[in-house]
Amino acid sequence: MGLFSFIKDVGQRVFGGSSAKADEVSTEELKKDMDALGLDTKGIELVKEGDKVILKGNTADQETLEKVALAMGNQKGVATVVTDEVQVAGGGAESKIYEVKKGDTLSKISKECYGDANKYMKIFEANKPMLSDPDKIYPGQKLRIPPL
């Protein structure tokens, strides 16, 4: 996996967060967001250097690593997430990463990626808890597209 690139000025505070300017999002706020995911992130350390977030440590599986990386990167003020220093214990297949474009819906993305628009719930489930509603995606957001 290694390096995720994001559009720094696109994103949202995943769990509400403060109203601080994007560049002022602190490491502590990002850690709170990561912990709020409800994933097993106790072995993951987060280091913020400017607009880059570096993840270090250990995680239970590939899915957890991808969800944490995307949750951090889909926030305003984060341009890059580096995962090279995370050991994945349980393995798992890597997901494709898809950048949402204007006019996209999960059904449209599902049709493009899987050939079947009705598999959009697989994408929705793969991106929980970052997504709370299948209709709430935005251009520039990155999503996990797991293998079928």
DSSP code per residue over the chain: --EEE--TTS---TT------GGG--HHHHHHHHHHT-S--TTEEEEEETTEEEEEEEES-HHHHHHHHHHHHTSTT--EEEEEEEEESS--PPPEEEE--TT--HHHHHHHHHS-GGGHHHHHHHTTTT-SSTT---TT-EEEE---
Write the CATH number for 102.
Answer: 3.10.350.10
Task: Say what the pLDDT of residue 18 is.
Answer: 43
pLDDT tens digits for range 26-59: 888 888 887 888 877 889 999 999 999 999 999 9
Task: Say what the pLDDT of residue 7 is.
Answer: 62
Q: Do 82 and 102 share a domain, yes or no?
A: no
User: Could you say which of 47, 68, 88 is where a domain stops?
Assistant: 88
Q: Do 76 and 34 share a domain, yes or no?
A: yes
Number of domains forming the structure of the chain = 2
Overall pTM > 0.85: no
Task: Say what the pLDDT of residue 17 is.
Answer: 43
Q: Do 50 and 84 share a domain, yes or no?
A: yes
Q: Do 43 and 106 share a domain, yes or no?
A: no
What range defines the domain where residue 84 resides?
Answer: 3-88
Mean pLDDT (10-residue bins), the chain, 148 residues = 64 47 70 81 90 93 91 86 91 89 97 97 94 92 94
Q: Do 14 and 80 share a domain, yes or no?
A: yes
Q: Do 83 and 124 share a domain, yes or no?
A: no
